[in-house]
């Protein structure tokens, strides 16, 4: 696992977090990292695609999200 990615995720780590929760945090961090390296014009669309997989956000319209 990339040390840089873990460093980025560290401020969001919560004491007592389960391994499953930590894995989700790192996965989300990797997704954010990957979106950040896309051309700026593609980032909003890709971020919205990710948000659609989150149950609490899946019903949002793209205009509301971005």
Domain that holds residue 12: 3-65
- pLDDT of residue 19 exceeding 80, the answer is yes
- Reported confidence tier of residue 10, pLDDT bands at 50, 70, 90: very high
Tally Cβ neighbours within 10 Å of residue 8: 16
- Residue 64 has φ and ψ, to the nearest 5°, of -75, -35
pLDDT of residue 1: 54
**Structural domains of the chain, count:** 1
Mean pLDDT of the chain: 88
pTM over 0.85: no
54 DSSP assignment: S
At 22 the pLDDT is 93
């Amino acid at each position: 696992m990339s040390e840089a990615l873990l460093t980025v995720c560290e401020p969001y780590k919560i004491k007592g977090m389960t391994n499953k929760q930590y894995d989700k945090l790192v996965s989300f961090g990797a997704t954010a990292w990957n979106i950040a390296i896309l051309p700026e014009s593609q980032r909003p669309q890709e971020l919205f695609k990710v948000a659609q997989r989150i149950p609490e956000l899946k019903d949002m319209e793209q205009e509301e999200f971005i």
